[in-house]
């Protein structure tokens, strides 16, 4: 099996220690029999955790052997398993979803730094339904690249727990009584679908192709009302939940439009469906107000495009069989 060298990025001690302290407060580490660390770098994180299985994409530490991560399962009963670390991101977060679902095969709890796009309903619906989100927190941490320079990276630190009841899928509405998705020739206005300005409202004459824009026709000619409610939507919040090129789905647009209408005092026009796993309310100290004695996590970014858009951080797509593992020492009673 061929090992392909990948660029690697270490999170700073502050980011890593804050994540670990948050995890310890919610799910004490001593309640797990085995802890799987997906970043087998010679750091305090992997070396300080007992009964660990350490995984990495490149053989930087000595004593690692090649294993197929996607199909790997513990060779013996490791009891209650925690997977903690940082997922590979991949193109638009696809590798992060695969990484999560591979871990779900044997974990009781999964605590990962993930691209924020996993919050989108389309991404959450792809995650193993046996797991429920119990903590979700924005992380704008610093990473140290291969060149030794620090850069900010928008991520989410999420903790998921296995439950007996499957998680409901999030079904977003695809239509609204106030407008219809139309062709360019029939439209009253356009909304940019993809790109840095995703969500921008434009006159039809100034909009681009149908591949990059939604064309909307107001019901009963109420164009001014449609435009006014669209103008109240803060699409910046949506654009921040991406691992690559920002985009707005039809479900996003309809849901955000309905929320803007409700905020303006209109009666509900569409039925509510399953909530998008909202993060639990927490009065805990903000992440970066916590001390940082020096642990660190290891992050891998793979696949993709321009510099630091999480799109091109490797030559070719990540092969999940290129993960490496180090098994823990057998537990003796």
Q: What is the largest CA-CA distance in the chain?
A: 76
CA 322 → CA 67, 151, 198, 296, distances in Å?
Answer: 7, 26, 35, 22
Higher pLDDT, 148 or 246: 246
From 188-192, 247-251, 300-304, the region with the lowest mean pLDDT: 300-304
Read off the pLDDT band of 97 (50, 70, 90): confident
pLDDT at 8 over 50: no
Read off the pLDDT band of 88 (50, 70, 90): low
pLDDT for position 332 = 40
Mean pLDDT to the nearest integer, 23-37:
87
pLDDT for position 245 = 79
SS3 298: strand
The CA distance from 201 to 192, in Å, is 7
Report residue 160 as tokens: 């998921």
Place of tokens 């530490």: 61
pLDDT for position 239 = 74
Domains of the chain and CATH, by start: 9-170+278-326 (3.40.50), 179-263 (no CATH)
Q: Are 38 and 111 in contact (CB under 8 A)?
A: no
Give me the numbers of helices (H) and strands (E) for the chain, helices first please: 7, 14
pLDDT at 329 over 60: no
Q: CA torsion sign, 77 to 82 to 86 to 87?
A: positive
The CA distance from 242 to 305, in Å, is 14
The CA distance from 219 to 179, in Å, is 5
Dihedral class, residue 258 (left if φ above 0, else alpha if ψ from -120 to 50, else beta):
alpha
Q: Are 254 and 270 in contact (CB under 8 A)?
A: yes
170-220 confidence digits (pLDDT tens): 888 999 999 999 999 999 999 999 988 999 999 999 998 889 999 999 998
Higher pLDDT, 9 or 223: 223
46-81 confidence digits (pLDDT tens): 444 554 444 444 444 444 434 445 556 666 667 888
pLDDT at 160 over 50: yes
pLDDT for position 247 = 87
Higher pLDDT, 65 or 164: 164
pLDDT at 164 over 80: yes
- Buried-exposed string 274-308: b where 16+ CB fall within 10 A, e elsewhere: eeebeeeeeeeeebeebebeebbbbbbbbbbeeee
pLDDT for position 296 = 23
Length of the chain in terms of residues written: 333
SS3 164: coil
pLDDT for position 331 = 38
pLDDT for position 185 = 94
Read off the pLDDT band of 155 (50, 70, 90): confident
**pTM here?**
0.69
Read off the pLDDT band of 136 (50, 70, 90): very high
Q: CA torsion sign, 322 to 136 to 9 to 303?
A: positive
DSSP tag of 247:
B
Upper half-sphere CA count for residue 110 (Cβ side, 13 Å):
27
């Amino acid at each position: 099996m061929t090992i392909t060298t990948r660029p690697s990025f270490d999170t700073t001690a502050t980011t890593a220690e804050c994540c670990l302290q948050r995890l310890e407060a919610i799910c004490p580490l001593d309640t797990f029999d085995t802890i799987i660390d997906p970043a087998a770098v010679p750091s305090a994180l992997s070396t300080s955790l007992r009964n660990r299985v350490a995984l990495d994409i490149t053989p930087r530490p000595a004593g690692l052997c090649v294993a197929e991560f996607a199909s790997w399962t513990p060779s013996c009963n490791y009891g209650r398993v925690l997977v903690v670390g940082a997922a590979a991101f991949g193109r638009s977060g696809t590798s992060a979803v695969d990484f999560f679902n591979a871990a779900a095969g044997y974990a009781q709890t999964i605590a990962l730094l993930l691209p924020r796009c996993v919050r989108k309903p389309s991404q959450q619906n792809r995650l193993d339904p046996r797991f429920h989100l119990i903590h979700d927190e924005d992380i704008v941490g610093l990473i140290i690249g291969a060149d030794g320079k620090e850069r900010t990276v928008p991520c989410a630190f999420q903790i998921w727990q296995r439950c007996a009841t499957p998680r409901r899928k999030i079904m977003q509405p695809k239509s609204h009584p106030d407008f219809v998705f139309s062709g360019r020739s029939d439209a009253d206005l356009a909304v940019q679908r993809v790109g840095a300005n995703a969500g921008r409202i434009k006159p039809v004459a100034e909009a681009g192709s149908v591949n990059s824009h939604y064309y909307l026709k107001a019901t009963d000619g109420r164009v001014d009302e449609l435009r006014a409610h669209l103008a109240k939507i803060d699409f910046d919040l949506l654009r921040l939940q991406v691992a690559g090129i920002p985009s707005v789905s039809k479900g996003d647009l309809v849901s955000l439009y309905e929320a803007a209408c409700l905020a303006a005092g209109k009666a509900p026009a569409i039925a509510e469906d399953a909530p998008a796993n909202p993060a639990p309310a927490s009065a805990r100290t903000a992440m970066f107000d916590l001390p940082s004695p020096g642990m660190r996590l290891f992050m891998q970014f793979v696949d993709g495009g321009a510099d630091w858009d999480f799109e091109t951080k490797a030559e070719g797509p990540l092969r999940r069989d290129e993960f490496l593992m180090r098994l823990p020492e057998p537990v003796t009673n």
